[in-house]
Structure 1
């Protein structure tokens, strides 16, 4: 299998950008209860999008020492600057480990069959570009999709607000049933 995992339309403003002496993180996970995995060292290809999901740039990560996080960080200060707000990535390094100990592990990919390569390339193009006439999604095979994770101080407030709204909806439902 060529591509092991991917993330679609992650937000640039939800990346934990590092500061001098402190490395940033690029966190994702598959489920809400899963521990986040840092994809900053992932190798593969990526696409940058503007606020209207128009693709602005396609690049690769892993050539030399530049991994995914490094390439994204470079684009924050290059000619693309603030023009991109989202990105999708497609990684060749697998996620290994169990439960809370999962991590990206660099490995040399083996040459997959031609049909697998073509399926992955088609899947990447469909996922990254979202062409209007492609109704069928791509065939990633066993590649795992990850969703962006970020630490947000407002999470507790949001959960509380959702709880209050749920209670209010239950009250309204009860009143409507009694009519």
Structure 2
């Protein structure tokens, strides 16, 4: 399998941007389920796409050539000619997530050459996921690649529960108003 995992339309403003100095590297967090510990994808290798606020693709690049991993490439784009233009990104990683619950991490591995049909399925899936062409009725075939959803340090279960409670109260109020009419 060429691509092991991916994230679609993550927010640039939810990346924990680092600062100079040891231990201030920043984080690129994702998870598959709300209650699981986040995984840092900062060292992931693969390809990525940058989008503007209307989800228009502005740039496509690769991470992992030399020492530049996914986080490094995104960080570079915050200060280059694209800096103010992109708000979201999608990424497609070749390094697997390994480990057990609570201690999962991205492990750098040299990928083996997958069969041609798997490569073509993955390339098609990436293009469909990244570009969302309107005439493609079916999604891409990622096979066993795992999708991850963005997480960020402000993620807090209490915050989520509070937001759900607020929404529930608003829905109850709307329902009461509709019954009065």
TM-score by length of 1: 0.91
- Write out per-residue CA displacement over residues 100-158 of structure 1, whole angstroms, 9 at most, x where no aligned residue: 01000000000000000000000000000100100100000000000000122787455
Q: Taking structure 1 as reference, are residues 119 and 155 closer, same or farther at Cα in structure 2, changes over 3 Å only?
A: same
Q: 2: CA distance between counterparts of 1:50 and 1:155?
A: 29
In structure 1, the partner of 2:26 is 24
Q: 1: CA distance between counterparts of 2:110 and 2:160?
A: 42
Q: Taking structure 1 as reference, are residues 13 and 113 closer, same or farther at Cα in structure 2, changes over 3 Å only?
A: same
In structure 2, the partner of 1:38 is 40
**5 Å matches for 1:27-66?**
27-66=29-68
* Matched residue SS, 1:34: coil
In structure 2, the partner of 1:76 is 78
User: Residue 53 of structure 1: CA displacement?
Assistant: 0.3
In structure 1, the partner of 2:124 is 122
Q: 2: CA distance between counterparts of 1:100 and 1:154?
A: 16
In structure 2, the partner of 1:3 is 3
CA RMSD of aligned residues (A): 2.3
Q: How many residues align?
A: 179
Matched, 1:152 2:154: yes
Q: 1: CA distance between counterparts of 2:67 and 2:108?
A: 12
In structure 1, the partner of 2:98 is 96
Q: 2: CA distance between counterparts of 1:89 and 1:153?
A: 21
Q: 2: CA distance between counterparts of 1:153 and 1:139?
A: 30
User: Residue 168 of structure 1: CA displacement?
Assistant: 6.1
Q: 2: CA distance between counterparts of 1:161 and 1:150?
A: 16
Q: Runs of 5+ in structure 2 lacking a partner?
A: none
In structure 2, the partner of 1:142 is 144
Q: 2: CA distance between counterparts of 1:47 and 1:80?
A: 12
In structure 2, the partner of 1:15 is 15
User: Residue 46 of structure 1: CA displacement?
Assistant: 0.2
* Matched residue SS, 2:16: coil
In structure 2, the partner of 1:107 is 109
